[in-house]
Amino acid sequence: MGRFLIVLMRPFLALFLMLLLQVAAGMVVMLEGVINGRTPADGAMTDGLFNVPLMSVSLIVGDVIIAIACMSIFRRRQYTRSEYVPSSATWQQNMVGLLGCVSGVVALDLMTELMSIPNLMEEQMMAICHNPWGVVAIALAAPVGEEMLFRWGIMGHLLHHNWNVYGSILFSALLFGIIHMNPAQVFFATAMGVLLGMLYWKTGNILMPILLHVLNNSVACAQVWLLGDDIHEYSIVRSIGGSGMAWATVAVCTTACIGLMWRYAVSKPAGHDATMEGREA
């Protein structure tokens, strides 16, 4: 038990730093609002009630700091490809993994709407995504910072300490989901974390999960830009023919995701050992 807690010290230290940076960003924006006499009205947080560019830049700075801090906290030199990556997947196998991830994201998007999971951060995210600095924060800085922390840092750290592969993926994904705190994002982020973890495990390259994360967040920002205020009325479920068709799509995409990701997980490139169990640090 003692060794278990020691192994988790670095991951929880990095998580604490991330939370501290988020709180600091919020306090900077709050202080700026107080100085300039802005106060919330009707319980809504909109562009006129907090400094969106300042908030966006604060988030960017926080993500950059956490990405750099991970290199120190998790001691990058200890984690080489030969120590915890089972194989270098071919581009054909990576395409299978990416298709599986895309299928999973489609299913998750539909399930989030079908289950009417409340989104407590919708107004804030809309305000941020309408600002160019906000787009950089959401679509680029956040994916880099979060992947460096949860996949490169935490997941790699656990694998380095001989954790089970799937246990490492799931644990880092759960932390990834919980840290979002918003109900609509917790479910989505946890499942997404599993898919991103699979990509990192098979490729040994943090660029792959970062690119998928960037794509996912960029699509979300694009929806805000294209739909504007109509986003409140927009429904993916209605656009594809109602709840019956939506649930059928969820079933098909989920089945495709599981099948493709399973194939991806068991694939073994020639000349490489595809098991990570029992690897020595």
Return d(Cα 86, Cα 79) in angstroms, integer: 13
Containing structural domain, residue 204: 2-266
Compute the C-alpha angle 90/79/77, nearest 5°. Answer: 125
- How high is the pLDDT of residue 11? 92
Residue 276: pLDDT above 60?
no
Q: Across all residues in the chain, what is the average pLDDT?
A: 84
Place of tokens 């991103």: 196
Is position 278 within any domain? Answer: no
Cβ 163 vs Cβ 58: under 8 Å: no
Is position 274 within any domain? Answer: no
pLDDT tens for 186-234 read 999 999 999 999 999 888 889 989 999 999 999 989 988 888 777 778 8
Is position 271 within any domain? Answer: no
Is position 224 within any domain? Answer: yes
- How high is the pLDDT of residue 4? 75
Is position 277 within any domain? Answer: no
Compute the C-alpha angle 181/253/220, nearest 5°. Answer: 45
Place of tokens 């895309």: 102
Is position 273 within any domain? Answer: no
Looking at this protein, which amino acid is placed at residue 228?
Answer: G
3-state secondary structure 61-112: HHHHHHHHHHHHHCCHHHCCHHHHCCCCCCHHHHHHHHHHHHHHHHHHHHHH
Is position 276 within any domain? Answer: no
- How high is the pLDDT of residue 254? 96
pLDDT tens for 17-58 read 999 999 998 888 888 877 877 655 444 444 455 788 899 999
Is position 281 within any domain? Answer: no
Residue 105: pLDDT above 90?
yes
pTM of the model: 0.86
Count: domains in the chain: 1
Cβ 126 vs Cβ 151: under 8 Å: no
Q: What percent of the chain has pLDDT over 70?
A: 86
